[in-house]
Amino acid sequence: MSTLAAPVSHLRENPFEVAREQLAQVADVFNLDANLVNVLGQCKKAVEVSVPTRRDNGSVSVFHGFRVTHNIARGPSKGGIRYHPDVTLDEVKALAMWMTWKCALMGIPFGGAKGGIVCNPKELSRDELERMTRRYTSEIINEIGPERDIPAPDVGTDANVMAWIFDTYSMNKGHSVLGVVTGKPITIGGSLGREEATARGALYCLREALRQQQRGFDGLTVAVQGFGNVGSYLARFLTQNGASVVAVSDSSGGLHNSSGIDIAAATAHKQETGALQGFRGADSITNEELLLVDCEVLAPCALEQVVTGENADKMKARIICEGANGPLTPAADEILEERGVLILPDILANAGGVVVSYFEWVQGLQEYFWKEDEVNAKLNDIVTRAFTQTWELSEHRSISMRMAAYGLAVQRVAEATTTRGLYP
């Protein structure tokens, strides 16, 4: 039996401390009560579990897993589960806190949660992934539920993983519980439009930002870092709307073509080979070089803290659309704001996934499912409303879009906390 230790993390700063510092800044700008900040700055619950998993060769590996609930003042907690070698407890706590703000900004009745397992899913067979997922679900089964805490896909997980969690939970309860997870396959209660929802929400957010500049997608040059669920769909939607995607990347490296990349062909190449590397329709670049290419919009859709104080002043993009959670460090944020770069913050730009997860949860509870155009129309309404509210507050208070978004969200959670009171 082997116990797998976490590798050295890619994170340059402690993400939970970054999240707490963001909260402190919001509290200062919006004059929040210090006692409320003390409450909101901590996670309600953090569970750490071991996940022994039998490998295909008969050996047993023990993985480390987490599930964190940040806040439930506005409803049950909601948040993804990620499988990645660099998962840490503080990363999961930060992601849970950001999820609380994201749900509040979108006006949906959830608090924030997050989960993860320290592993490299690419090195596990499908059978090993299923056994690991089912054991992890069994370890956290008392923490999750449709009225308690509802997981969803995140980095390294997908609809298949959600199906295994749904089945494991339901088998333990003795009946199918559709609302226990979202992001499920359509055949077992998933929602139409859920898979593309995060990217579609980012598209709507970017569309509204361009509208404020009295322009559209035609001729817009974009670089997309990350070619997983969010990045690949966003690149596809952008090209369908007339933009030119000049750079894309995945964990194997990046591609650049100043005349625009054929996203359909690049997607087909990745599906066939498992990586973007080797695609002949563009030049090879690194993920780091992608961040600095000549483009109007950069969409970091991979992991946290890829834009830092070391590379922010070299970037050419004038709009950053945060498809990932926390892709900018505080130092990068400050540099880019001083340079007049418009930053569409993560809790606004990538909230489409949790919005449609909410739709899936509602549909599952009602056992009545919507058409895809209904889902997309409702998503458009919610994202557009949140953008407008954020933009107007940013203009009114002369503050950044990030500060405006966080200000709206934190104040809503603070109000709910005050209204409910402190028990006992």
CATH of the domain at 97: 3.40.50.10860
Q: Using CA atoms, how far apart are residues 326 and 396, in angstroms rounded to an integer?
A: 25
Residue 373, SS3?
Answer: helix
Is 33 among the domain residues? Answer: no
The residue type found at 265 is A
Q: Using CA atoms, how far apart are residues 321 and 299, in angstroms rounded to an integer?
A: 5
Which pair of structure tokens corresponds to residue 265? 């062909």
Residues 107-118 pLDDT 10s: 999 999 999 999
Question: In the predicted model, what is the mean pLDDT of residues 20-39?
Answer: 96
pLDDT at 164 over 50: yes
pLDDT of residue 6: 47
Percent of the chain at pLDDT exceeding 70? 97
Closest listed residue to residue 342, CA positions, set 333, 351, 350: 333
Q: Considering its fold, how many domains does the chain have in total? A: 2
Residues 219-267 pLDDT 10s: 999 999 999 999 999 999 999 999 999 999 998 899 999 999 999 999 9
Collect all residues with Cβ–Cβ distance below 8 Å to 362 and sequence separation of at least 6: none
pLDDT at 85 over 50: yes
Q: Final residue of a domain: which of 151, 178, 205? A: 178
Inter-residue contact 326 to 305 (CB < 8 Å): yes
46 and 167 inside one domain: yes
Residues 138-157 pLDDT 10s: 999 999 999 999 999 999 99
Q: Using CA atoms, how far apart are residues 188 and 167, in angstroms rounded to an integer?
A: 10
Residues 168-226 pLDDT 10s: 999 999 999 999 999 999 999 999 999 999 999 999 999 999 999 999 999 999 999 99
56 and 152 inside one domain: yes
48 and 108 inside one domain: yes
Is 378 among the domain residues? Answer: no
pLDDT at 2 over 90: no
Question: In the predicted model, what is the mean pLDDT of residues 306-316?
Answer: 95
Residues 285-298 pLDDT 10s: 999 999 999 999 99
CA distances from 299 to 85, 178, 307 (A): 23, 33, 11
156 and 201 inside one domain: no
For the question of residue 184 being annotated catalytic, the response is no
Q: Using CA atoms, how far apart are residues 160 and 334, in angstroms rounded to an integer?
A: 40
Residues 124-139 pLDDT 10s: 999 999 999 999 999 9
Query: What's the 3-state SS for 205-235?
Result: HHHHHHHHCCCCCCCCEEEEECCCHHHHHHH
Catalytic residue among 78, 114, 184, 270: 114
